[in-house]
Structure formats: structure tokens, C-alpha cells
Amino acid sequence: MPLTESLRDDILASVPSLRAFAISLSGNGDRADDLVQETLLRALANIDSFQPGSNLPAWLFTILRNLFRSDYRKRRREVEDAEGNYAKTLKTQPAQNAHLEFEEFRVALDKLPQDQREALILVGASGFSYEDAAAICGCAVGTIKSRVNRARSKLAALLYVEGAEDFGPDETVRAVIGGNG
């Protein structure tokens, strides 16, 4: 559909959650905003392919997610120690809310496999249904569910090690916890 005023307003209204998604995925504010910008440009350039009445946020999140994935692959090749720099990036960000627990959470989130991280964010923070999240990630609903479950288990194991036996992480998770010792 052509870009109407109301569609434009809807896109604008999606920007805050697009940014939140981008930051959650990339862990880096500047890079996240570049991703959002690219997402918006791409969305506007392809606005004709948006089906009126369909889920606009899901459409925009799909674009962002795909951009992030291709960008991530590219960067991984370019900067080998990108992951090592991630922790430093966190510390240099203005930290109004970033008390220790908050940072720990972000670091733990970043340790999840990308598939699990994005599934967890889409369902647990963005508020998408499992069906929408599956559409965004291009996979089956059951796959999203199991990714979300695994993400939660892994985060719990990373963040609340002391409670680990309460929910019995599998051996791989234990190996991750004890991996540095």
C-alpha cells in the first residue's frame, strides 16, 4: 500500500520498540540505531509490499531481524573480537539504570545462542504471540516455544546458579556454568 499519513504514524509509533528490539539483539546502542535506521529506510522503500491490515510491527521486526542477521554475519568476519568488545561497550554506556544486576542480565542474554535470544525477546519483552514470533523468525511455532524455553533455562542457569538444582539444567548448561573454572 502507498505510504499514507496513518501508516507513517504507525511506523513512527513502532520506532521505540524497534529500538528496544535492536538493542536487545545487538547490545550496542549505536549499532542498534543504525539498524533501526536501515530498517525504516528499507520499510519505506518497500512499503508497497506491506499488506494493509496485516501486522505492521511484525513486518518491521522481520525486516530488522533479517538486517541484523546479515549484518551480524558480516561483522563477525570483519571484527573477530567483537564479542570480547561487547562487555566494554556495556560499561561505556551511560548507566542510569545499569546497576550491576542489569548489566549481568544483559551479559547473560548475550551469551544465549542468537535463535534463542531473539525468540525470548520477541515473546517475553516485545509481547508478540508465539505465532507472530514464528512468522518473524521464519520458523515453526513449536520451534519458537522450545527456543523460548531453552533461553529461559539457560538464563536462569547463568544468573541464578545457586538455584540451579531447583529446575535441573541439563549437562550442557552445567558445563557452561563451570566452563571457566
Partner 1 sequence: MKDVKSPASKNMTPGKGGLNAEIQSRIGHQLRAMYDDVVRQGVPERFAELIRKLDVPEETSQVGNNGGPTEDGRE
Q: Is 167 in the site for partner 1 (CB under 8 A)?
A: yes
Sign of CA dihedral 44, 49, 53, 55: negative
In the chain, what is the greatest distance between 2 CA atoms, to the nearest angstrom?
A: 58
Q: Which of 25, 31, 35, 36 binds partner 1 (CB under 8 A)?
A: 36
* Angle, CA of 67, 87 and 136, to the nearest 5°: 25
Q: Is 41 in the site for partner 1 (CB under 8 A)?
A: yes
Per-residue interface string for the shown chain with partner 1, residues 72-111, x marking contact by CB under 8 A: -------------------------x---xx--xx--x--
Tell the residue number behind the cell numbers 561497550, with chain if given.
89
Q: Is 166 in the site for partner 1 (CB under 8 A)?
A: yes
**Cα 53 to Cα 38: distance, rounded to the nearest angstrom:** 23
Find the binding residues for partner 1 in span 5-34 (CB under 8 A): 5, 8, 11-12, 15-17, 19-21, 23-24, 33
* Angle, CA of 143, 34 and 39, to the nearest 5°: 55
**Cα 20 to Cα 32: distance, rounded to the nearest angstrom:** 8
| Contacts to partner 1 by CB under 8 A | 2-5, 8, 11-12, 15-17, 19-21, 23-24, 33, 36-37, 40-41, 44, 52, 97, 101-102, 105-106, 109, 120-121, 123-126, 145-146, 148-150, 152-153, 155-156, 159-160, 163, 166-168
